[in-house]
Amino acid sequence: MSTSDALPRLIVRHPELSDSQLAPFAAALERAPERRDARVAAWPAVVLRRDEVERLAETAGVDAALVPAKLSLADFRLAAFDMDSTLITIECVDEIADYVGRKAEVAAITEAAMRGEIADYDESLRRRVALLAGLPETTLQRVWDERVRLTPGAERLIGALKSAGLKILLVSGGFTFFTDRLKARLGIDFTRSNVLEIADGRLTGGLVGRIVNAQGKREALEQACRQIGCTPSQAIAVGDGANDMEMMGIAGISVAYRAKPLVRARTTWSIEHGGLDTLLDWLPEASAGPAGTGA
């Protein structure tokens, strides 16, 4: 293998990628990029540090990744996703709370937990769920029908991962009512999430069984790997909050999606501008194949 073959690719992406956004990278590398399409540009065999790439990406307002030269989806067997604000655009517990006029209160706790400012995640979730006590069970269906939306690029990404032979894990600190429906809609292989306690058709404000916290997410990824016969290094983990970091920490590739700074600092790549299917431009089905072109 030549020295250049061992160097990573730099891939820059934006839904409407302009020459001016590429200019800082071209100046740093002293060469023009290979333009793949209107959204993606690449430089093979680059010598840049991650912090330099992150600084340039922030300046240009783009997503950028240093990708090992031969890395592709063929190197992975499992993709694990957080649900709230990752695979879907909302935080379900916040939206449920809106039906009792407590959204702001619950959302403040959720935000602090995702930033890693609440040491006891289990207690923070119990506090939020307790505020839902008395809501009709039918409220969950209303949230699903009226507010749950897939994150841009999610459906395309899941489809491409499945086509490439990867199994999909949805692991969430949210609730089974929603993960069960996403599993059916997207053809997800494994799910793990929390169970809301319901009695006489109403939420009690409690949870049933062990809470899926950061440790629970890591264990879910490890269990899914065992079931399909791979190691965590053959897994991709995608999330946005502090409770995703344990599973992301053992995965071969971790991707922060619109994530908190604490999470971005500890993951392989970060998506701030494109959809979830940005990942397909960084990990094509084959290392020599064309990248995807989703928004």
Q: What is the pLDDT of residue 286?
A: 58
Tally of domains in the chain: 2
pLDDT in tens, 76-135: 999 999 999 999 999 999 999 999 999 999 999 988 888 888 889 999 999 999 999 999
Same domain for 172 and 81: yes
Same domain for 146 and 37: no
In the set 82, 94, 244, 281, the catalytic residue is 82
Instruction: Based on the residue annotation, tell me whether 122 is a catalytic residue of this protein.
Output: no
Same domain for 53 and 112: no
Asked whether residue 68 carries a pLDDT value surpassing 90, the answer given is: yes
Same domain for 58 and 78: no
Domain boundary among 70, 87, 112: 70
Same domain for 192 and 281: yes
In the set 84, 240, 244, 281, the catalytic residue is 84
Q: Which domain holds residue 101?
A: 72-295
Name which of 45, 44, 35 is nearest 14 in CA terms: 35
Instruction: Based on the residue annotation, tell me whether 244 is a catalytic residue of this protein.
Output: no
Asked whether residue 2 carries a pLDDT value surpassing 80, the answer given is: no
Same domain for 256 and 168: yes
Same domain for 175 and 90: yes
Same domain for 53 and 8: yes
Q: What is the pLDDT of residue 294?
A: 40
pLDDT in tens, 183-218: 999 999 999 999 999 999 999 999 999 999 999 999
Name which of 81, 88, 41, 87 is nearest 62 in CA terms: 41
Domain boundary among 53, 70, 87: 70
Specify the CATH number for the domain of residue 220.
3.40.50.1000
Q: Residue 238 burial by CB count (10 A; 0-12/13-18/19+): exposed, middle or buried? A: buried
Element (H, E) at 221: helix 214-228
Predicted structure pTM score: 0.92
Name which of 110, 116, 112, 85 is nearest 97 in CA terms: 110
